Structure 1
């Protein structure tokens, strides 16, 4: 098994490569310029290839140095992230949510959290990927599903699944509300990854006559498309509550879809209390009730 290169040299190379200047690297590392230059020379000797071209006013990568720095920089970034996740930071709470939940509910609600808990540093991981409490270091997660979610997790119900059909006033001006089943069948549709329109139209006992429609990968994009009059979207009611109140969107029929895939806030079962996490959980539950 190959030995690792000298770690001080790797660190000096990482910083010098990012700044392309030994003096600036020395300032960041808190050592002398000569020490940085010597550590990089030792690394080059170990590797047997030059990593930098020394210029009168700085440094330039060699071709080997440039490709090596990409890998070394990524390795140090991974070490920093791993250390940040391991080291406790008072008041930091990392929550995993989908991009749609972040854009349409959580981010618009954050001013209320900041006002009530100014010392809490809420960090949002918005991804369609199911993040891991262990490997990703998250503290809370919003999941759509059905309990149980696991013996190590506490599950708090946030929102029941209630899918409604919404459209911009400009699109429905020629239709009386609530729209008839045949009118809805003729309206253009906005589709997202959940593909709920066949089930919804099945409840109405009509077939889609609205054309191909617009197909998008995320519900938040479908909501935005509906706001701009590009079609009728199917979306959970709580995600468009603000738009409905402001009349930017209208519910075109009282018919709704419901199911067992409700929205839950998940938290790890803790051996000791964490005041920041507990405060965020309480805030989520209170905000969801409003």
Structure 2
């Protein structure tokens, strides 16, 4: 049977419990992060809310009366029970350690994790950045997400969940009126993957003239930020810039062409359904949704 609870003055009760447990208003104020005066006012407010005194005040000294001590003891027990329940809930969470390449983690996976947490609040996903190819089992890793191709990682046996399409992207603010003039803009590149532009020209069956100017960055995430800031034209996977294109922060004047790379995950095997299986099923579903959303983006319009 549903019983409606009376409205409880939680702020005042919390102050009362802290004061009774510490024995001094200054210590209660320090614990609660408030002033001595705020503690005193909260206790007086609590007495007004309840309609009876909790303190005995005599010549500048204040002590809890029998009713105040009884109420404070009950609040201490209640707060202890709540703290124990929270601790138990934290222990009940399953920690899932995901090793992921940095750009994919920052631009695709992490922005979608809130949705996973809402569906599976009992699974605590911890992201660890790594770009090296691994084979599970590996200590401290349950799932590894990588971008691989047969040239760089021959025989990679992970499960493919997303194909990779890539193409030139540019901030709308510097997009020339003549689309063919894009090739003359400063070409942005990443030092960790020098053949990116060459690979795209191969996959797109096109041959751009040499750029008039080039800017190189140590990491792809910097290259992408340079493109967003209007420093030039960058070569990027659709998975990494898809959300920016949808929001109008970037445009892909020549569409995207399928690359030889693909996104795969390696999972730790274990008997029966596990948090690893739940996460891998979720990431495949998210990848399918992403493919559907990106189907409106032109593919290879050169």
Do Structure 1 and Structure 2 share a fold, with TM-score over 0.5?
A: yes
Mark the CA change 1:288 to 1:250 in structure 2 (over 3 Å): closer, same or farther.
same
Tell me what 1:107 maps to: 110
Query: Following the alignment from structure 2 to structure 1, what is the Cα–Cα distance between the partners of residues 108 and 137?
Result: 26
Task: Report the CA distance between 1:156 and its aligned residue.
Answer: 2.4
Instruction: Report whether the alignment pairs 1:149 with 2:156.
Output: yes
What is the CA deviation profile of residues 112-134 of structure 1, one whole-angstrom value per residue up to 9, with x for unaligned ones?
11111111100111122345634
Tell me what 2:63 maps to: none
Match runs of 1:40-55 below 5 Å: none
Tell me what 1:198 maps to: 198
Tell me what 2:279 maps to: 280
Secondary structure of the residue aligned to 2:243 is: helix
What number of residue pairs does the alignment pair up?
191
Match runs of 1:1-290 below 5 Å: 90-131=93-134, 133-145=136-148, 146=150, 148-150=155-157, 155-172=158-175, 174-176=176-178, 179-180=179-180, 183-192=181-190, 193-195=192-194, 196-201=196-201, 203-211=205-213, 213-254=214-255, 256=257, 258-259=259-260, 261-270=261-270, 272-290=271-289
Mark the CA change 1:117 to 1:237 in structure 2 (over 3 Å): closer, same or farther.
same
Tell me what 1:82 maps to: none
TM-score if structure 2 supplies the norm length? Answer: 0.58
Q: CA RMSD in A?
A: 2.3
Query: Following the alignment from structure 2 to structure 1, what is the Cα–Cα distance between the partners of residues 121 and 280?
Result: 15
What is the CA deviation profile of residues 55-82 of structure 1, one whole-angstrom value per residue up to 9, with x for unaligned ones?
xxxxxxxxxxxxxxxxxxxxxxxxxxxx
Cα contact 1:132–1:138 (8 A) shared by 2: no
What is the CA deviation profile of residues 221-275 of structure 1, one whole-angstrom value per residue up to 9, with x for unaligned ones?
211111111111111101111100001000021352521x2111111232x1242
What is the CA deviation profile of residues 16-38 of structure 1, one whole-angstrom value per residue up to 9, with x for unaligned ones?
xxxxxxxxxxxxxxxxxxxxxxx
Cα contact 1:142–1:265 (8 A) shared by 2: yes
Tell me what 2:53 maps to: none
Structure 1 stretches of 5 or more lacking a match?
Answer: 1-87
Mark the CA change 1:186 to 1:257 in structure 2 (over 3 Å): closer, same or farther.
farther
Structure 2 stretches of 5 or more lacking a match?
Answer: 1-90, 290-302
Cα contact 1:201–1:207 (8 A) shared by 2: no
Point out the structure with max Rg over C-alpha.
2
Mark the CA change 1:93 to 1:274 in structure 2 (over 3 Å): closer, same or farther.
farther
Mark the CA change 1:232 to 1:136 in structure 2 (over 3 Å): closer, same or farther.
farther
Task: Report the CA distance between 1:110 and its aligned residue.
Answer: 0.9
Mark the CA change 1:198 to 1:263 in structure 2 (over 3 Å): closer, same or farther.
same
